[in-house]
Structures are given as structure tokens and as C-alpha cells.
């Protein structure tokens, strides 16, 4: 029984697991739970084979999974704290619609400016929070539509046309997103 | 009959709306980036048409084309109309607060005092902007 368990754990260890599963893994200590956990991990690794990205946070989580399996082997049951910081949105490659990463005004600003800097037709040196799209950055109305679509994709909710035509600066976009997401700080 | 025009939209707004919908449609099919660039080129080559009749005709043709090419199951955002989470969280309207029981209102005296004040100010603003309401004739 213990041999089969160790094999299962090493299999899960090879295919780096997703963050929520690893976090769930980290909170478990006893051997019975490890069996069900290994089964879920096996299922999870089958459902999402393409999450072998962003090695560092996951490796930390898998490291603690490995330590729990060792402890289980030694017969000690202990709750292990998850080692990943789920709030770092840069490292998650999968978008969860059930819970978004916690937003602050600063984070929204960074994301908006990043998306705008990645756009070809904008000169990143001229870009600032108060720069007007049409006048300062020389964008077209169709370019403006593309920028608004990029913002929709970034933040995950749709911006209707009536609101979109009023968002002519990055500062307006940041304020709009903060209003929609109810962020005041 | 089903498509009654309820707002005055300018030609440029209609063009932008067509562009956005056609890009989202393109996203639903395949090879998005390449085809998006081609679509943008198509929109750009007709950008400087000054004759409004020609422009309107191009817009109509574009709308027909979009309608013929629309995806059978477009990917929608969760909270937009037609998405999965649309209307999931209902925000109660403001006037519901007026129907609270006085015992409940007594729990928040400051807020309700401010609310009465705000209502008075609103009525004053309204009468200043639009004039006093006409007396019912009878």
C-alpha cells in the first residue's frame, strides 16, 4: 500500500501540478488523505497537461508536497503551509472566472500601462497616465476600439460602446475599471 | 420591426461598432491575429470616403456580411448579456431603502437624515433645472 502510494506521489511530482491542487495538497497530512489527494492530483494532471509553465512558484508547492509525502512515510502528520503566493497575477497562466486576483488602483494602473505599451502603434516613451489617445498618441478611432477590446480581455468584463467612447485616456480607463470592480484605495 | 432605432448614433460610431463585433466574431473562429490585420486593412482602405451615400452603403454591406458569417456559439464574457453570469448578482435599487421598517431605519439615523437632506436638494435641483411640475388640471 505504501509503495503504491509513493509511486503515485512521484508520478504527480513529475507532472507539475496546478496551484490550487498544490495548495490543497499542502494542507493535508494523514496517509488516507494522501491517497485521495494523489488520486485527485492524478486526475488533475490529466485534465490540465499544459500547465508546465512558471516553474518557480509551482516547484515550491511541489517541494512541500514532496516533504509531506516524506513526513507521511515517517509517520508524522503535520499541516504544511502553502508556499505559493496566489496574489501574483503574473505567474498564473489560467484565467479563473470564479475568483479574480485582488486588485488595487496601483495594480490596475500597471496592467493598463503594460497592455498599452505592448500595442504596436503606441510609442512607449510618450505614454503616460494622462496622455490622450487621439491627440497625444495619434491613434485612430478604430485603434481606440482595439485598445478597448484589449482592456476587456485583460480585465475579463465587457465595456459597452456607450462607455467606451468616453474612455480616451489611460486615467479614464483606470477609473472606470476601479468603479466597476469597486476599488477605492 | 424588431430593430427599432432608439438612439441617434453617428456614422463613425456605427463603423466602430461593426469593427468591434466583427473582431469578436473573428476571434470565435480561427487564425485570429492574421485575419484581424486583414480586416483592419479592409476598413482602412475605405476610411477616406467622403460621400455619405457610398459610406452608408459600405456600412450596410458590412453588416450583412457580418450577419452571414456570425459564429454559432460566440464566446461571451460572463457578466455581459448572454453570458453565464449575467444578472447573477442583483443590486437592489435605491428606492428600496425608503421601504424599510422604522425600527430598521433607527439603526442608521445619520445616514437616513442625510438621505432626507439629499432628497430635498434633489427636488430643488430638479425644479431649478426643469421648472415646477404643472398642477393637475382638475
- Contact across the interface for B16 and A158, Cβ inside 8 Å: no
**How distant is the Cα of A156 from the closest Cα of chain B, in angstroms?**
7
Residue A180: closest C-alpha in chain B = B79
Rounded to two decimals, the ipTM of the complex is 0.73
Residues 6+ apart with CB under 8 A from A76: A29
Residue B81: closest C-alpha in chain A = A158
- Chain A hits for B15, CB-CB cut-off 8 Å, are 141-142
Burial classification of residue A17, based on how many CB atoms lie within 10 Å of its CB (0-12 exposed, 13-18 middle, 19 or more buried): buried
Residues of chain A with pLDDT > 70, as a percent, come to: 46
Scanning chain B, the segments in alpha helix (DSSP H) are 11-28, 32-45, 52-69, 102-105, 109-130
The reported pLDDT for the residue numbered A162 is: 86
Instruction: Report B:76-105 residues touching A (Cβ under 8 A).
Output: 76-80, 85
User: For the whole prediction, is pTM greater than 0.90?
Assistant: no
**How distant is the Cα of B113 from the closest Cα of chain A, in angstroms?**
25
Per-chain mean pLDDT for chain A: 68
Scanning A15-104, the segments in alpha helix (DSSP H) are 19-26, 31-47, 55-74
Residue B8: closest C-alpha in chain A = A162
Cβ–Cβ contact B112 with A under 8 A: no
The reported pLDDT for the residue numbered A91 is: 58
**Candidates A142, A148, A158; nearest CB to B40:** A142
CA distances from A67 to A9, A21, A43 (A): 11, 16, 21
Over range A128-149, report the average pLDDT: 90
CA nearest B43: which of A140, A138, A132, A148? A140
- Contact across the interface for A156 and B77, Cβ inside 8 Å: yes
CA B44 – CA B47 distance, rounded (Å):
5
**How distant is the Cα of A120 from the closest Cα of chain B, in angstroms?**
12
- Contact across the interface for A149 and B20, Cβ inside 8 Å: yes
The reported pLDDT for the residue numbered B113 is: 95
Q: What would the grid cell of residue B113 be?
A: 437624515
How many angstroms from the chain centroid is the CA of residue B6? 11
- Contact across the interface for A142 and B19, Cβ inside 8 Å: yes
Residues 6+ apart with CB under 8 A from B84: B78
Residues 6+ apart with CB under 8 A from A3: none
Give the tens place of pLDDT for each residue, A153-179: 988 888 888 888 889 999 999 999 998
- Chain B hits for A145, CB-CB cut-off 8 Å, are 16, 19-20, 23
The reported pLDDT for the residue numbered A146 is: 92
Cβ–Cβ contact B32 with A under 8 A: no
The reported pLDDT for the residue numbered A95 is: 67
pLDDT band at A11 (very low <50, low <70, confident <90, very high): very low
The reported pLDDT for the residue numbered A75 is: 47
Sign, CA torsion B103/B104/B110/B114:
negative
Give the tens place of pLDDT for each residue, A56-70: 444 444 444 444 444
Which residues of A are known to be catalytic?
140
Whether the Cβ atoms of residue A170 and residue A113 lie closer than 8 Å to each other: yes
CA B16 – CA B56 distance, rounded (Å):
13
H-run or E-run covering A107: helix A105-118
Whether the Cβ atoms of residue A105 and residue A183 lie closer than 8 Å to each other: yes
CA A100 – CA A64 distance, rounded (Å):
25
Query: Going residue by residue through chain B (138 aa), what tens digit of pLDDT does each one get?
Result: 556 777 778 888 899 999 999 999 988 887 788 889 999 999 988 888 888 899 999 999 999 999 999 888 888 888 888 788 888 888 899 999 999 999 999 999 999 999 999 999 999 999 999 988 888 877
Q: What would the grid cell of residue A82 be?
A: 502553502
DSSP B87: T
Q: What would the grid cell of residue A10 be?
A: 512521484
Amino acid at each position: 500500500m505504501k509503495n503504491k502510494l509513493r509511486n503515485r506521489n512521484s508520478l504527480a511530482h513529475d507532472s507539475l501540478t496546478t496551484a490550487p491542487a498544490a495548495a490543497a495538497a499542502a494542507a493535508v497530512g494523514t496517509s488516507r488523505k494522501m491517497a485521495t489527494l494523489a488520486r485527485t492530483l492524478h486526475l488533475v494532471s490529466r485534465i490540465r497537461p499544459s500547465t508546465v509553465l512558471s516553474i518557480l512558484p509551482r516547484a515550491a508547492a511541489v517541494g512541500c508536497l514532496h516533504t509531506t509525502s516524506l513526513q507521511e512515510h515517517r509517520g508524522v502528520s503535520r499541516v504544511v503551509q502553502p508556499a505559493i503566493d496566489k496574489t501574483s497575477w503574473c505567474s498564473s497562466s489560467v484565467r479563473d472566472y470564479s475568483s479574480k486576483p485582488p486588485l488595487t488602483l496601483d495594480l490596475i494602473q500597471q496592467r493598463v500601462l503594460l497592455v498599452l505599451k505592448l500595442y504596436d502603434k503606441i510609442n512607449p516613451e510618450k505614454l503616460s497616465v494622462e496622455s490622450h489617445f487621439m491627440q497625444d498618441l495619434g491613434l485612430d478611432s478604430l485603434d481606440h476600439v482595439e485598445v478597448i477590446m484589449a482592456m476587456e480581455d485583460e480585465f475579463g468584463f465587457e465595456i459597452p460602446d456607450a462607455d467606451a467612447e468616453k474612455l480616451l485616456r489611460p486615467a479614464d480607463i483606470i477609473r472606470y475599471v476601479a468603479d466597476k470592480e469597486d476599488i477605492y484605495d | 420591426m424588431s430593430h427599432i432605432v432608439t438612439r441617434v448614433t453617428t456614422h463613425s460610431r456605427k463603423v466602430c461598432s461593426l469593427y468591434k463585433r466583427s473582431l469578436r466574431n473573428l476571434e470565435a473562429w480561427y487564425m485570429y491575429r492574421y485575419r484581424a490585420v486583414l480586416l483592419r486593412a479592409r476598413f482602412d482602405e475605405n476610411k477616406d470616403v467622403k460621400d455619405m451615400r457610398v459610406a452608408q452603403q459600405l456600412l450596410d454591406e458590412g453588416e450583412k456580411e457580418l450577419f452571414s458569417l456570425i459564429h454559432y456559439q460566440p464566446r461571451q464574457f460572463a457578466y455581459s448579456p448572454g453570458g453565464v453570469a449575467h444578472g447573477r448578482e442583483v443590486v437592489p435599487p435605491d428606492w428600496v431603502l425608503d421601504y424599510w421598517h422604522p425600527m430598521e431605519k433607527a439603526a442608521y439615523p445619520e445616514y437616513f437624515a442625510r438621505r432626507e437632506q439629499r432628497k430635498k436638494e434633489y427636488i430643488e435641483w430638479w425644479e431649478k433645472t426643469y421648472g415646477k411640475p404643472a398642477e393637475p388640471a382638475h
